Structure 1
Amino acid sequence: MKSTRFYLIRRLLNLLFISLSFYYSATAQRWSAQQANDWYKTQPFLVGANFIPSTAINQLEMWQAESFDPATIDRELGYAESIGMNIMRVFLHNLVWEQDAEGYKKRIDQFLQIADKHHIKIMFVLFDSCWNDDPKSGKQQEPVTGKHNSGWARSPGTKRLFDSRTWGGLEQYTKGVLTAFGNDKRVIVWDLFNEPSNNGYNDAVLPLLTKTFVWAQSVRPSQPITAGWWNDHPLSNDLMFSQSDIITFHNYSEAPKLEAQILDLQKLGRPLICTEYMARTRNSLFETCLPVFKKYKVGAINWGLVKGKTNTIYAWDAPMPSGEEPKVWFHDIFRPDGSVFDPKETTLIKQLATGK
């Protein structure tokens, strides 16, 4: 009883903190449900992938000037276009902005030019609690053989998460990116924070998550703002559901559980986009899940596109130190040369995405 009472008190205090933060941010303007649904009616059935070029191990290697690789980006977004994909979810990183904001803006614009050439809209992600802590600029580590996301970098990392004195740079990054591209028609959605309560952060992420929404809403881009459900952490979910213009979520379960979650989230009365799904060895499959997304016109963004340095053909918890290719890939669709893991999948994706 005591622990339950303590939890309820803590939850109420956190909700009060969240409410006061938005009350004192006079410019915070969440879209109405009507506005969000009117926007979504103008969108096609959104089908795409989480994208990072096969030559980058993480967000830093993708975006830093010395390793930015437009030729590979162009080629691999061409693969996506060839199967009818029309949206990519792409992770940014605060350290690149803080090191060279003007150069970063130019590279983001170059990336958007390439995506637009391939008729693909971009959902950018600003912060991320997943995988490796203490991110550093400069040359990134080489992949650990056979290990899923061995070099992916959190943003901003634990040290800054717990030190609000360092948040000035994070605020400038958030506002700077959204100001620069907040009316850019090549950008379709802003995903503020990926899986914020992951890696044991739980409720500790709430102050920065709250501030990120406040900063973003003070800019109020023309595109919708969101941050998505990934696990049963009620405090962060309460915040994200109460402040997101559209509802985004992750689901790596089989199709019946996916459909049940969609039906549950529809009760919120806002458009739905699943920003992560498809893990073959967990029975989250294109052939079973994509028809469910199509049935309810829920956007479907799988992880990921091309086999590469992120090693996401290997499962989260099943490394293969030999480096041999698993018989069943965990994620990804294409090899770097454009050949595919399973032609039946790409045929289905194209058919459902384009109707052809």
Structure 2
Amino acid sequence: MKNRIQFKLKTAILVLLTVLSLQTTAQQWTPKQANDWYKSQPWLVGSNFMPASAINQLEMWQAESFDPKTIDKELGYAEKLGMNTMRVFLHDMVWRQDAKGFKNRIDQFLALCAKHNIKPMLVLFDSCWDPQPKLGKQHAPVMGRHNSGWVQGPGAAILSDKSKWEGLRSYVKDIVGSFRADKRILAWDIVNEPDNDNANSYGRNGKIKTELPNKAQLGTELVKAGFGWAREAKPTQPITSGPWKGDWSSLEKMDDMNRFLVQNSDVITFHNYGKPDDFKKRVADLKKFGRPLICTEYMARPAGSTFEGSLPIAKAENVGMMNWGFVSGKSNTIYPWDSWQKQYTAEPPVWFHDIFRENGQPYIPAETAFIKKMTGKK
């Protein structure tokens, strides 16, 4: 009984601190501030970036597997395409293990990005794939399975226990606060797809079924708290988190989470894996809110989301673009999402994501030529 009362008291105090932080720290940028910032940027084109040598965020950032040589090489491929940004996922467990070392590695990564004229967007939390991350050596990729090793951050053990959320707040405040004025960083993405229940992988329809039953609710609560924690650190860069499903045609038709995201993000980000007509409609829906738009996930060839279909619309509408997948490697994202239900024993006839093979050769040379044409890279 005593423990239960203490837990409820800790939770109530955490909620109160979050509410107070929203009232006493930096506020959301005005539309004018956001649009003035966006005008100072080039047309933003890039990818979601994970080096081919890493299966997930832990392998990318832990000291024993951090791979600046591969990162440098692959960012060079991006620069040659005319890309000027990347979306990159961090992880709270690496910070808890070695905060100083983690920040040093982030600094090394930012130096490599600057070398190649790239300003990354850094993602603090992610609700997708494995809810049980573990530090140390990561398992080998499962043959033919899309993102077979990608992990959530925070994992289910912390996400489901609000008495541990103060540690998440410390992580956000330390990382954002340490780099709050770093001009090498484009923006902060608080949570990737906060309410994703991973139904077909680790959720109700999956083979592994380790997802929390109330994951969507907890993810929504996390992103709301995360905005407050990030604003406590008073970053000079914009903060955001993007809707990825649902009806965005009006605030009234949005669910609670999407309404929060578009009403609290400095710049509005979103995901779209639809065909060109669907992409165009999503852009029109979000333009109504009068803020800059950046699509932080797109491009799934078999689903009809392609560079040729989406980039010309985005350029005409001045929408920033970051496709999913860059160099084919341990992530296995050349395989489709249905590889969690269906076995693939060879390279698929059409790659789902990714642009380059590990040796730097383009998967489709005409496609990389098209990206260069769009970015104006000679």
With the length of structure 1 as denominator, give the TM-score of the two structures: 0.92
Superposed CA deviations along residues 279-338 of structure 1, whole A, max 9, x for unmatched, are 000000111111011110100100010000000000011356454111210000001111
- Asked whether the 8 Å contact 1:77–1:118 carries over to 2, the reply is yes
With the length of structure 2 as denominator, give the TM-score of the two structures: 0.87
Superposed CA deviations along residues 235-292 of structure 1, whole A, max 9, x for unmatched, are 1111111211000000000001100110110001000000000000000011111101
Q: Among 348, 351, 356, which residue is 2:373 paired with?
A: 351
**Letter aligned with residue 348 of structure 1:** F
Gap runs ≥5 in structure 1: 1-16
Q: Within the alignment, does 1:308 sit opposite 2:308 as a pair?
A: no
Residues 296 and 355 from structure 1, CA distance in 2 versus in 1: closer, same or farther, beyond 3 angstroms?
farther
- Asked whether the 8 Å contact 2:21–2:228 carries over to 1, the reply is no
Instruction: Measure how far apart 1:22 and its partner are.
Output: 6.3
Instruction: Measure how far apart 1:203 and its partner are.
Output: 2.6
Instruction: Measure how far apart 1:159 and its partner are.
Output: 2.2
Instruction: Measure how far apart 1:23 and its partner are.
Output: 7.8
Instruction: Measure how far apart 1:54 and its partner are.
Output: 0.2
Poorly superposed stretches of 4+, deviation over 6 Å: none
C-alpha distance in structure 2 between counterparts of 1:71 and 1:355, whole Å: 24
Gap runs ≥5 in structure 2: 1-14, 198-213, 247-253
Q: How does 1:77-226 map to 2 (within 5 A)?
A: 77-199=75-197, 201-226=215-240
Q: Within the alignment, does 1:230 sit opposite 2:244 as a pair?
A: yes
- Asked whether the 8 Å contact 1:192–1:213 carries over to 2, the reply is yes
Q: Within the alignment, does 1:269 sit opposite 2:283 as a pair?
A: no
C-alpha distance in structure 2 between counterparts of 1:64 and 1:72, whole Å: 15
Q: Within the alignment, does 1:247 sit opposite 2:271 as a pair?
A: no
Residues 31 and 22 from structure 1, CA distance in 2 versus in 1: closer, same or farther, beyond 3 angstroms?
farther
**Letter aligned with residue 346 of structure 2:** E
Residues 286 and 26 from structure 1, CA distance in 2 versus in 1: closer, same or farther, beyond 3 angstroms?
same
Question: Which residue in 1 is equivalent to 2:317?
Answer: 296
Question: Which residue in 1 is equivalent to 2:358?
Answer: 336
C-alpha distance in structure 2 between counterparts of 1:325 and 1:83, whole Å: 24
- Asked whether the 8 Å contact 2:141–2:149 carries over to 1, the reply is yes
**Letter aligned with residue 131 of structure 1:** W
C-alpha distance in structure 1 between counterparts of 2:286 and 2:216, whole Å: 21
**Letter aligned with residue 341 of structure 1:** Y
**Letter aligned with residue 339 of structure 2:** A
Instruction: Measure how far apart 1:162 and its partner are.
Output: 1.9
1:318 match: secondary structure: helix
Residues 110 and 47 from structure 1, CA distance in 2 versus in 1: closer, same or farther, beyond 3 angstroms?
same
Question: Which residue in 1 is equivalent to 2:43?
Answer: 45
**Letter aligned with residue 240 of structure 1:** L
2:296 match: secondary structure: strand
Question: Which residue in 1 is equivalent to 2:5?
Answer: none
- Asked whether the 8 Å contact 1:248–1:275 carries over to 2, the reply is yes
RMSD over aligned CA atoms reads 1.6
1:192 match: secondary structure: strand
C-alpha distance in structure 2 between counterparts of 1:165 and 1:311, whole Å: 35
Q: How many residues align?
A: 339
Instruction: Measure how far apart 1:209 and its partner are.
Output: 1.6
- Once the two structures are overlaid, the 10-residue window that deviates more, 205-214 or 115-124, is 205-214
C-alpha distance in structure 2 between counterparts of 1:37 and 1:79, whole Å: 30
- Asked whether the 8 Å contact 1:203–1:235 carries over to 2, the reply is no
